Chains A and B, each alone.
Chain A
Amino acid sequence: MREYEILMIVGVISMLVGVIVWEIWERVSKEKKDREKESAYECGFNPFMEERSGYEIRYYRVGIMYIIMDVEISYMYPWSIGMGEIGREGVIGGIIFMIILGIGYIYEWKKGGIEWE
């Protein structure tokens, strides 16, 4: 538990250092207000459309695929630790799990879920 407390403290301090650096920078560098300078970057002209008007469905699809696959991979970490102890049934069970995962992956592939074009 002590190790995780130290991990948390390190995280908090890293965050604090980041915030402090940002705040010092904001104090040190005075911004001169200017309307054109503060407008969104758009190669010199006014933005054509709302910046959050929407984005491609492909990114969403990649996100969903990532979440599914990442959970499946996380299930395999406990299996992978003790290869010497889990015995024949354990190894075969893990391989069956991977085969089921592979069938799902092939289905997704055939349906075009991971195509980018």
Chain B
Amino acid sequence: MKVIIEGVSKEIVMLIPMLIGVAYMTLGERKVLGGMQRRRGPNKVWIEGVGQPIADGIKLMIKEGVKPMRAEGVMYKAGPVVTWMLSMLGWSVVPIGEGEVIVDIEVGIIVWMSIGSLGVYGVIIGGWGSSSQYSIMGGLRSGAQMVSYELGMGVMMICIIIIGGSGNISRIVEVQEGVWNISIMMPVVVMYMGVILAETSRTPFDLPEAEAELVAGYNVEYGGMGFGMYFLAEYGNIILMSVVSSVIMMGGWNSKYMRGELVVGIKSTIIVYVYIWIRGSWCRYRYDQLMRIGWKGVIVYVGGYVIVMGSIMWSIGGVSI
């Protein structure tokens, strides 16, 4: 019983800030993109568009739901729900401050990776269940992209674990007290950025929503809150990916001058801003280029870097703090 109360309260404490963060990230994205194109972005609702995410949410909630005739009932419903659930579950193993984590386990980073891998199911179930040619094709493409870059991510995480000497994310942050992992991983850090962009299906790797040929991909048959849940999950994944990157690569909460949570927040916000910046300035890759970068580039180079990193860490006798 005590466990249940603890779980529920931690879930609520995690869920509400996450939803507010996602809502205001959408506003921030539109504002930043607008600024990059010398527009003002949304500025009508309330003061300078601050009410825009709430208005969008209400609109999605009261929008008429058109369920396609041929859609498979359970699968059609399960797609967004599963994606949403995994997007929230991923937050439970990621610490945002010293000891501030829902479940502090020794294999935290591996659990986080496996939750991220399961995200493919939500996309494929939704695309398959809505019984449209476009959505099935979009789901397959999205799934193939996500699994390809999952491998690159897995090899990156082996490097991180070798440096940190543990799968526990808090421990990985402790190790970075002197030197951030981003400088140790410098030869592959650009690939890391590419991998996290492709994992969250963002520009320049936003092939799943390639509107020209796929009319928005796997979620084409979803309207209203079905679409809204996919959308929230996707943006939640972006913020989660930024937080994880700032924690495992950019030193986490190590700081002499500020509170740890604030430091993580600032670093994560910078990474989110880079996401939007890339969206504002780059164009999309072709699908075969995406696959080539994933399978022939990232995995090969980062796999080689694992050998280098393993040898170095062994020769200096492992990590000690």
The answer to whether B165 and A82 touch across the interface, beta carbons within 8 angstroms, is yes
The answer to whether B7 and A5 touch across the interface, beta carbons within 8 angstroms, is yes
The answer to whether A6 and B144 touch across the interface, beta carbons within 8 angstroms, is no
Interface of A is mostly: helix
Binding site for B on A (CB under 8 A): 2-7, 9-11, 13-15, 17-19, 21-22, 24-26, 28-32, 35, 37-42, 47, 49, 51-52, 55-56, 58-59, 62-63, 65-66, 69-70, 73-74, 76-77, 80-86, 88, 90-91, 94-95, 98, 101-102, 105, 109, 114, 116-117
The answer to whether B225 and A3 touch across the interface, beta carbons within 8 angstroms, is no
The answer to whether A10 and B318 touch across the interface, beta carbons within 8 angstroms, is no
The answer to whether B103 and A6 touch across the interface, beta carbons within 8 angstroms, is yes
When distances are taken between beta carbons in the complex, the residues of chain A under 8 Å from B82 are 18
CA distance A117 to B151 in the complex (A): 20
When distances are taken between beta carbons in the complex, the residues of chain B under 8 Å from A105 are 299-300
When distances are taken between beta carbons in the complex, the residues of chain A under 8 Å from B50 are none
The answer to whether A32 and B64 touch across the interface, beta carbons within 8 angstroms, is yes
When distances are taken between beta carbons in the complex, the residues of chain A under 8 Å from B92 are 6-7, 10
When distances are taken between beta carbons in the complex, the residues of chain B under 8 Å from A42 are 132-133
Interface flag for B278 (CB, 8 Å): no
When distances are taken between beta carbons in the complex, the residues of chain B under 8 Å from A19 are 81
CA distance A7 to B164 in the complex (A): 24
Q: Which residue of A lies closest to B93 (CB)?
A: A7
Beyond A59-B144, A81-B161, A102-B303, 11 extra complex contacts between A and B, CB < 8 Å? A11-B89, A28-B61, A31-B65, A31-B67, A47-B133, A51-B132, A69-B151, A73-B151, A76-B306, A77-B161, A84-B165
Output the least CB separation between B59 and chain A (Å): 11
The answer to whether A80 and B161 touch across the interface, beta carbons within 8 angstroms, is yes
CA distance A98 to B227 in the complex (A): 42
CA distance A74 to B165 in the complex (A): 16
CA distance A74 to B7 in the complex (A): 29
The answer to whether A80 and B310 touch across the interface, beta carbons within 8 angstroms, is yes
Q: Which residue of B lies closest to A88 (CB)?
A: B314
The answer to whether A18 and B64 touch across the interface, beta carbons within 8 angstroms, is no
CA distance A51 to B72 in the complex (A): 13
CA distance A77 to B84 in the complex (A): 28
Contact partner, A14, options B85, B137, B155, Cβ 8 Å: B85
The answer to whether A69 and B103 touch across the interface, beta carbons within 8 angstroms, is no
Residue-by-residue, is B83-111 near A (CB-CB < 8 Å gives 1, otherwise 0)?
01100110011000000001111000011
Number of inter-chain CB pairs below 8 Å: 215
Q: How many B residues face the partner with a CB closer than 8 A?
A: 86
Interface centre among A18, A49, A59 (most CB of B within 10 A): A18
When distances are taken between beta carbons in the complex, the residues of chain B under 8 Å from A81 are 161, 165-167
- A77-B167, A91-B311, A98-B307 are known contacts. Are A6 and B10 too (CB-CB below 8 A)? yes
When distances are taken between beta carbons in the complex, the residues of chain A under 8 Å from B6 are 6
When distances are taken between beta carbons in the complex, the residues of chain A under 8 Å from B161 are 77, 80-81
Interface flag for B80 (CB, 8 Å): yes
- A40-B131, A114-B295 are known contacts. Are A13 and B8 too (CB-CB below 8 A)? yes
The answer to whether B311 and A10 touch across the interface, beta carbons within 8 angstroms, is no
Chain B positions 271-287 with a Cβ under 8 Å from a chain A Cβ: 287
Interface flag for B319 (CB, 8 Å): yes
Interface centre among A5, A37, A76, A105 (most CB of B within 10 A): A76
The answer to whether B132 and A95 touch across the interface, beta carbons within 8 angstroms, is no
When distances are taken between beta carbons in the complex, the residues of chain B under 8 Å from A102 are 303
The answer to whether B158 and A4 touch across the interface, beta carbons within 8 angstroms, is no
CA distance A19 to B226 in the complex (A): 11
